[in-house]
A and B are shown apart, each in its own frame.
Chain A
Amino acid sequence: AQSVTQLDSQVPVFEEAPVELRCNYSSSVSVYLFWYVQYPNQGLQLLLKYLSGSTLVKGINGFEAEFNKSQTSFHLRKPSVHISDTAEYFCAVSESAGSARQLTFGSGTQLTVLP
C-alpha cells in the first residue's frame, strides 16, 4: 500500500516570494508522482508528473518539482509566486506498474499568495 503526506495544510506567502510545498510518500515499490492544482470551485488539473528520467520536473505556470528517492519526497517549488497561484495543491502517487486508478492523494496544501 502507498501513502502520501503533505506536511503543511496552509502556506501563506507574499507575492513575488519563492514557495516550496512539501510532499513525502511511502511505497514498497517504484512509484509515479503527480502534483495537481485546484482553483476555487473548480476540478483538479495536472501541474506536472514524474514517471522516470530526470529527477527535476518542470510543469505549467512556472512550477517545478524534484523527485528525491532516498528521502521519498517530491516537493513542489516556484521561484516567484503571483496572486493567481492562490489555490489548493495536491500531491498524488501511484505504483509505477499501475494506472490512474491506483492514484493515492495527499490531504492538500492551501497556498495563499498575499499582496
Chain B
Amino acid sequence: NAGVTQTPKFQVLKTGQSMTLQCAQDMNHNSMYWYRQDPGMGLRLIYYSASEGTTDKGEVPNGYNVSRLNKREFSLRLESAAPSQTSVYFCASSYDRTGTEAFFGQGTRLTVV
C-alpha cells in the first residue's frame, strides 16, 4: 500500500524561484494537510483541505498557496521562495471524523539558497 506519496523528496531552490510540491493519497481520505517541520518547533500546519474543492489556512500560511486538485491530490506551491522557507515539508491525510489520526508522507527536504 502506497499511503501518502510526496514528490520530490529533495529540492534546492534559489531565492525567488517557484516550485510545486505534489502529494497524493490512496486511502480515500476526505482531509489533507501540509505541514512544515523546523528544528525545535515540531510540525506547524500550513494549509489544510477538509474536502475536495475547499482549502483553509493553518498556522503559517504566508508565502504558500495550495490546490486540492481532486480527492487524491493536494499540492503546495511556493511562488517566490525565500530562505525562511527552508524546511522539511510533510503532507498528511485523514478521515474527517473526530479522534482520527493523520497519516503522513515521507517528506520533502527543501533548501532555499
Binding site for B on A (CB under 8 A): 4, 9, 32, 34, 36, 41-46, 49, 51, 90, 96-101, 103, 105-108
List 10 A–B pairs whose Cβ atoms lie within 8 Å, in order of A's numbering: A32-B99, A43-B90, A43-B92, A99-B94, A101-B33, A101-B94, A101-B96, A105-B42, A105-B44, A107-B42
Nearest-neighbour CB distance to chain B for A106, whole angstroms, equals: 5
A-B contact count (CB 8 A): 69
Complex partner residue of B105 from A32, A43, A90, A105, CB under 8 angstroms: A43
Residue picked from B41, B97, B104, most chain A C-beta under 10 Å: B104
Does B70 interact with chain A (Cβ within 8 Å)?
no
Complex partner residue of B97 from A34, A41, A90, A99, CB under 8 angstroms: A99
Whole-angstrom CA separation of A57 from B102 in the bound complex: 18
Complex partner residue of A96 from B41, B45, B99, B107, CB under 8 angstroms: B99
Q: Known interface pairs A90-B43, A100-B33. Does A43 touch B106 (Cβ–Cβ under 8 Å)?
A: yes
Nearest-neighbour CB distance to chain A for B100, whole angstroms, equals: 5
Nearest-neighbour CB distance to chain A for B33, whole angstroms, equals: 7
Whole-angstrom CA separation of A42 from B108 in the bound complex: 10
Whole-angstrom CA separation of A9 from B39 in the bound complex: 10
Nearest-neighbour CB distance to chain B for A61, whole angstroms, equals: 16
Chain A residues within 8 Å of B103, by CB = 46
Quick check: B43 and A43 within 8 Å, CB to CB?
Answer: no
Whole-angstrom CA separation of A107 from B42 in the bound complex: 4
Complex partner residue of A108 from B4, B42, B92, B105, CB under 8 angstroms: B42
Interface string of B22-53 (1 = CB under 8 A from A): 00000000010100000011111100101000
Nearest-neighbour CB distance to chain B for A58, whole angstroms, equals: 16
Q: Using CB atoms, name the residue of chain A closest to B44.
A: A105
Complex partner residue of B104 from A43, A51, A97, A99, CB under 8 angstroms: A43
